[in-house]
Amino acid sequence: MDIPNTTPIPSARQLAHGWNQLCTIETAPVRLVCIAEVSVTCLSGTAWITTASDTRDVVLTPGQQHVAARRDRLFINGMPRCVLRFDSPDEHQPIPAT
CATH number, domain containing residue 36: 2.60.120.10
CB-based contact 45:76 (threshold 8 Å): no
Counted domains in the chain: 1
**Residue 44: per-residue pLDDT:** 93
Q: Is residue 83 part of a domain?
A: yes
Please check whether residue 97 is in contact with residue 32, taking contact to mean a CB–CB distance below 8 angstroms.
yes
Nearest CA to 18 out of 84, 66, 96, 85 is that of 85
Question: What is the reported pLDDT for 52?
Answer: 84
Q: For residue 1, is it within any domain? A: no
pLDDT of residue 43: 93
Q: Which residues pair with 33 in a beta bridge?
A: 73, 95
Indicate whether 61 belongs to any domain: yes
pTM for the predicted model, two decimal places = 0.79
Domain that holds residue 79: 6-96
Do the beta carbons of residue 31 and residue 96 sit within 8 Å?
Answer: yes
Ranges of the chain whose pLDDT falls below 70: 1-19, 91-96, 98
